[in-house]
């Protein structure tokens, strides 16, 4: 024997053990004992097409699949005829062929009947094309239509449609059992055709019929408990019996002479008591065909005399031909589903359509309208040997009911295995015996019993039609979505499918749903949407890795609209912040991550992280493993952000790459946010008790790697980032034309305080003055307007709305009419306060202007009017401080201390402050940058959460 590795899956590497002389594969192993059974089956389906085998034995505890020659061991024993053609044909004959063709022709007329059959089969044909396309695009497992829909549309839509498809099969099973019971009563009930007029047969009433239905349902249960294989073995024989009965009907129409036929006792509309009423069977006559050519709707005697219309007739007709999924529902038992389903389904559809057209024409040409409207089982007395029809009715309806009961149990089993409803359906998974879903069969059987309480076959038929139409709509929607999304892996081998067929099928099913019954259709659609919402919010399988068509469609549309988003058409009126937040460690940055998420105002938000190193020295890119942790972080913190991770020689170089490359097309970051460089020890918000940001998924060590997720820097270890590099990042950002925000003290941000009604936190503060070089024009420059815009945005966000916006005005000069005015009369008559008030009004910013008293004297104390002038080489004095910078002039220190004191004085009730960030000075970076950072540190010491802002382009507009 020869062992070789042929590839890998999500469950581990895949190896094949082959026989040396022949090369025959004997064992396939996934090297993963925990690999789900469905994955192993999919693996087998793929390999079987390569090696030419059609059977396997899956051992779930060992992680391997054995190939063999026995089809019995695999459980996939059914071929095209027995597994698909027979169940589909029987389901499409069902109760319609012998029990309702007369009702349809007698009310709708021949041409409308044929038109309705064309509509119904047109919808079916387009839906079959979609089913075949999905079935031939990959391995189809158990669950049939549900499996195909869910694996295409995703867990939410797939689970909801699968649930409704399960209910449709249940209703269909109840419909056919009701039809079977009706056939029994019409033949063996009081004055039944096989009992004779006036003879006592089986008792007949609503509850007697329910008893007969229940007995038939019990027989179905017994067959299902024995297994689907038993039904498959008998389905061919049953189909043969039905075909013989149908042939006898066709022959009888051709040879029977005209005769009077007694109306059944169950028709209380025209028959009272024991008085006999007769209607004519005319045989082949042109007058009869002309009479039955046009529509003439009457009353339905089986539904207490309800009026019949086009929708009622079509609902009954369509309910009889909804069996196209019967073969797909047996996908778990088919040898080659991708081949069996298309061939068997299409041939069964063609066969049944021809049969219905022939029977409809013969019915219209030989039977009077009064007979057709008042005797649904008129074929019995017409037949040369009436028991033929009786046998055909009982076998067709019972087999169709049995097929739908098996199908519904298989769909329910698939829903349970996919964990769609969590623990609610776990008993279905546990209740499986020798591969037969006993618990699913019992559950389906009980629901069928409930549906049979409705009683009227025609009423159940309308419900059945609507539910099946909804599942067909979903199937067409799935294929249409795949085609429109241009998914490269959607390559069905079925060649007669296009998006046109899926679209026509979708529109047809939607229109017919509401045409049959608006109430039932509305309830079904509403129920589907409710299931979608419930599964989206609570289903454990919503994270299933099936692949959702929604992602493919979103990708397709996003790409298209990104191409339409042209940066040359940007206008300041529609500016919004597009944020790139560089995160060193998310454990200590949770409040800041949340704050920037609030600040983005529906714009782009990117969380960036840089791993320092050289990729050529690494065995594998470290960001590959970390990416999933960052996505988990985004989910846990509930922020709407993208993730960008990169490896670079330094953090500064990595930031340059991120600024240039983050985003796509015109959707790129315009504002870079950095945490502040200081000596604060990092906080662990994941582990902190009572924290808003506690994330159980990210606490402690990771389950697979054993390493701590996002480990924090210890108090003794050095920072990976130096002061020169940090300030250089600020300078680089401005060179690249991006706005910059430096955020400090955000570990103190407590959103609970802002929400509390009795909170001491009341304000958002804006200080539109460059404290390093104060000027009266500061409140009106680009940076100050950018600060106002950001403060206004954060004040519009839920949780910040109850705070009041304050703008602090620091004027070096007084107005002319002030008592202590020392300014010449040539100065403007309007103060900056008036100008600022007008500006806020034009910008629609609701804020209070707070004038800072005594600022003129404080600003005058600044030597040379500028802090940055103190960084000139002539005034620089060596000094060893915590940043390794230089000694500052004492007057500058006094000035910064007074400014810091002023800020603290006004910030006792402040949630967040926005300060003006001066541009880093040019010169010797190694000397100037540490001093610049020291100035910012002393300016913002002991303040509330503070954002230092510098803007580079206009972001506000006063125009409409």
Residue ranges of domains in the chain = 82-538, 578-743, 745-813+831-873+884-959
Query: Which of 21, 107, 29 lies closest to 374 in space, CA to CA?
Result: 107
For 948, phi then psi, to 5°, come to: -90, 125
pLDDT, residue 66, reads 39
Rama region for 613: left / alpha / beta (φ>0; ψ in -120 to 50; rest): left
Q: Write out the two tokens for 97.
A: 């062929």
Query: For every residue of 199-249, which 3-state class applies, written as one string?
Result: CCCCCCCHHHHHHHHHHHHHHHHHHHHHCHHHHHHHHHHHHHHHHHHHHHH
Q: How far apart are CA 414 and CA 141, in angstroms?
A: 9
Our CA angle for 467, 469, 475, nearest 5°, is 110
Contacts of 774 (CB under 8 A, 6+ apart): 810, 812, 859, 862, 865
- Beta-carbon contacts of 752 under 8 Å, excluding residues fewer than 6 positions away, are 692
Closest Cα to residue 778, out of 889, 698, 859?
859
β-bridge mates for residue 809, sequence order: 851
d(CA 109, CA 113): 6
Check residue 78 and give its pLDDT. Answer: 77
CA dist., res. 630 & res. 624, Å (int): 11
| Below-70 pLDDT ranges, the chain | 1-76, 139-145, 191, 193, 195-200, 227-233, 273-274, 329, 332, 539-548, 689-691, 694-707, 715-716, 757-758, 813-830, 870-889, 959-960
Q: Given this model, what pLDDT does residue 743 score?
A: 95
- The answer to whether 479 and 492 have CB atoms below 8 angstroms apart is no
What is this structure's pTM? 0.65
Tokens read off for 724: 């020169």
- Distance (Å, whole) CA 603 – CA 606: 10
Q: Cα(741)–Cα(778) distance, rounded to whole angstroms?
A: 17
Instruction: For 779, list phi and psi in degrees, rounded to 5.
Output: -65, -10
Helices (H), 517-548: 518-538
- Cα 398 to Cα 780: distance, rounded to the nearest angstrom: 85
> Which CATH number, 3.30.540.10, 3.30.70.260, 3.40.50.620, 3.40.50.300, labels domain 578-743?
3.40.50.620
> Coil, strand, or helix at residue 776?
coil
pLDDT at 816: 46
d(CA 45, CA 28): 12
Choose the CATH number for 82-538 among 3.90.550.10, 2.70.70.10, 3.30.360.10, 1.20.1740.10: 1.20.1740.10
Cβ atoms of residues 191 and 204 within 8 Å: no
Structure tokens at 153: 């549309």
Position 946 scores a pLDDT of: 95
CA-CA distance, 395 to 95, in Å (whole number)?
A: 10
pLDDT at res. 885: 41
Chain centre distance of CA 442: 31
Residue 607 makes CB contacts below 8 A (sequence gap 6+) with 581, 583, 586, 593, 630, 633, 634, 641, 642, 643, 644
Contacting residues for 823 by C-beta, under 8 A, at least 6 apart: 813, 814, 816
Return the pLDDT at 329: 67
- The DSSP 8-state label assigned to residue 277 in this structure reads -
Distances (CA, A) of 911 to 570, 758, 804: 33, 14, 10
> Which residues lie below 8 Å from residue 466, measured CB to CB, with a gap of 6+?
315, 513, 516, 517, 520, 521, 524
SS (H, E, C) 116-181: HHHHHHHHHHHHHHHHHHHHCCCCCCCCCHHHHHHHHHCHHHHHHHHHHHHHHHHHHHHHHHHHHH
pLDDT for res 4: 46
All residues at 6 or more sequence positions from 174 whose CB lies less than 8 Å from its CB, including other chains? 213, 401, 448, 451, 452, 454, 460
Contact 480, 509 (CB under 8 A): no
**Which DSSP string corresponds to 600-635?**
TTTS-EEEEEEEES-GGGSSS-HHHHHHHHHHHHHH
Q: Parallel, antiparallel, or unpaired for β 25-29 and 306-307?
A: unpaired
Position 55 scores a pLDDT of 39
What is the DSSP-derived secondary structure letter of residue 799? T
Give the residue carrying structure tokens 């570990």. 747
| Residue 914 pLDDT | 96
> Which residues fall within 8 angstroms of residue 615, CB to CB, at 6 or more apart?
621, 647
pLDDT of residue 648: 93
């Amino acid at each position: 024997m020869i062992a070789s590795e042929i590839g890998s899956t999500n469950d581990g590497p895949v190896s094949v053990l082959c026989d040396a002389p022949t090369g025959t594969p004997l064992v396939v192993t996934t090297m993963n004992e925990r690999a789900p059974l469905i994955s192993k089956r999919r693996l087998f389906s793929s390999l079987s097409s390569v090696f030419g085998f059609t059977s396997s034995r899956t051992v779930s505890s060992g992680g391997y699949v054995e190939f063999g020659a026995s089809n019995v061991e695999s459980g996939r024993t059914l071929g095209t005829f027995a597994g698909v053609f027979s169940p589909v044909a029987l389901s499409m004959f069902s109760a319609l062929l012998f029990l309702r063709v007369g009702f349809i022709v007698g009310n709708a007329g021949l041409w409308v009947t044929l038109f309705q059959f064309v509509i119904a089969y047109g919808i079916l044909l387009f839906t079959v094309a979609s089913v075949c396309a999905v079935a031939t695009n990959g391995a189809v497992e158990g669950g049939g239509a549900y499996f195909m829909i869910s694996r295409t549309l995703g867990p939410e839509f797939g689970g909801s449609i699968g649930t409704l498809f399960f209910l449709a099969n249940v209703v269909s099973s109840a419909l056919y059992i009701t039809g079977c019971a009706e056939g029994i009563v019409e033949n063996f009930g009081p004055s039944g055709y096989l009992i004779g007029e006036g003879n006592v047969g089986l008792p007949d009433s609503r509850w007697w019929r329910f008893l007969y239905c229940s007995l038939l349902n019990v027989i179905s249960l017994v067959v299902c408990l024995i297994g689907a294989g038993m039904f498959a073995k008998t389905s061919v024989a049953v189909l043969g019996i039905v075909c013989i009965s149908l042939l006898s009907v066709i022959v009888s129409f051709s040879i029977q002479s005209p005769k009077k036929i007694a109306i059944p006792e169950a028709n209380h509309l025209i028959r009272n008591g024991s008085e006999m009423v007769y209607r004519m069977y005319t045989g082949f006559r042109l007058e009869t065909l002309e009479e039955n050519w046009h529509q003439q709707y009457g009353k339905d005697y089986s539904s207490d005399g309800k009026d019949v219309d086009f929708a009622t007739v079509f609902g009954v007709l369509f309910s009889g031909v909804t069996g196209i999924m019967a073969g797909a529902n047996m996908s778990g038992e088919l040898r080659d589903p991708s081949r069996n389903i298309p061939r068997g389904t299409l041939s069964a559809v063609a066969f049944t359509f021809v049969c219905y057209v022939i029977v409809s024409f013969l019915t219209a040409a030989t039977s009077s309208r009064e007979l057709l409207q008042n005797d649904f089982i008129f074929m019995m007395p017409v037949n040369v040997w009436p028991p033929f029809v009786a046998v055909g009715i009982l076998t067709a309806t019972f087999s169709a009911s049995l097929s739908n009961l098996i199908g519904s149990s298989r769909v329910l089993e698939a829903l349970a295995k996919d964990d769609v409803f969590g623990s609610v359906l776990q008993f279905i998974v546990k209740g499986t015996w020798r591969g037969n879903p006993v618990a699913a069969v019992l559950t389906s059987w009980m629901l069928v019993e409930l549906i049979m309480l409705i009683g009227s076959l025609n009423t159940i038929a309308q419900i059945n039609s609507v539910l099946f139409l909804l599942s067909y709509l979903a199937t067409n929607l799935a294929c249409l979505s795949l085609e429109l999304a241009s998914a490269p892996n959607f390559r069905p081998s079925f060649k007669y499918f296009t998006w046109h067929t899926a679209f026509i099928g979708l529109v047809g099913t939607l229109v017919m749903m509401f045409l049959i019954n608006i109430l039932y259709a509305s309830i079904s659609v509403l129920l589907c949407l409710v299931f979608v919402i419930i599964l989206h919010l609570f289903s454990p399988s919503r994270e299933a890795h099936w692949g959702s068509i929604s992602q493919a469609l979103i990708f397709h549309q996003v790409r298209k609209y990104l191409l339409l988003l042209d940066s040359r058409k940007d206008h300041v009126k529609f500016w919004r912040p597009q944020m790139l937040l560089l995160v060193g460690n998310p454990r200590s940055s949770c409040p800041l991550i949340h704050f920037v998420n609030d600040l983005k105002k529906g714009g782009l938000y990117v969380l960036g992280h840089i791993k320092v190193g050289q990729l050529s020295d690494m065995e594998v890119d470290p960001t590959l493993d970390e990416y999933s942790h960052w996505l988990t972080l985004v989910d846990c913190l509930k922020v709407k952000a993208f993730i960008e991770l990169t490896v670079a020689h330094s953090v500064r170089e990595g930031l340059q790459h991120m600024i240039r490359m983050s985003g796509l097309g015109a959707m790129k970051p315009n504002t870079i946010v950095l945490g502040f460089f200081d000596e604060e020890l990092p906080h662990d918000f994941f582990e902190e008790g009572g924290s808003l940001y506690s994330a159980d998924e990210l606490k402690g060590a990771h389950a697979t790697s054993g390493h701590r997720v996002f480990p924090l820097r210890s108090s003794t270890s050095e920072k990976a980032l130096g002061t020169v590099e940090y300030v250089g990042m600020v300078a680089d950002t401005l060179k690249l034309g991006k706005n910059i925000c430096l955020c400090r003290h955000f570990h103190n941000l407590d959103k609970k305080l802002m929400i509390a009604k009795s909170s001491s936190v009341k304000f958002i503060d804006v200080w539109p003055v460059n404290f390093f070089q104060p000027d009266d024009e500061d409140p009106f420059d680009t940076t100050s307007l950018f600060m106002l815009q950001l403060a206004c945005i954060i004040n519009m966000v839920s949780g910040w709305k109850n705070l009041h916006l304050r703008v602090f005005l620091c004027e070096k000069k007084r107005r002319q009419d002030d008592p202590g005015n020392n300014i010449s009369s040539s100065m403007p008559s309007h103060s900056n306060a008036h100008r600022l008030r007008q500006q806020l009004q034009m910008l629609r910013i609701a804020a209070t202007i707070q004038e800072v008293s005594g600022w003129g004297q404080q600003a005058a104390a600044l030597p040379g009017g500028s802090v940055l002038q103190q960084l000139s080489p002539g005034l620089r004095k060596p000094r060893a401080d915590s940043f390794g910078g230089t000694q500052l002039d004492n007057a500058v220190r006094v000035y910064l201390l007074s400014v810091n004191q002023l800020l603290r004085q006004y910030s006792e009730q402040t949630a967040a402050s926005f300060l003006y960030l001066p541009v880093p000075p040019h010169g010797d970076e190694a000397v100037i940058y540490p001093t610049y950072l020291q100035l910012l540190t002393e300016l913002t010491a002991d303040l509330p959460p503070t954002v230092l802002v510098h803007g580079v382009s206009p972001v506000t507009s006063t125009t409409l």
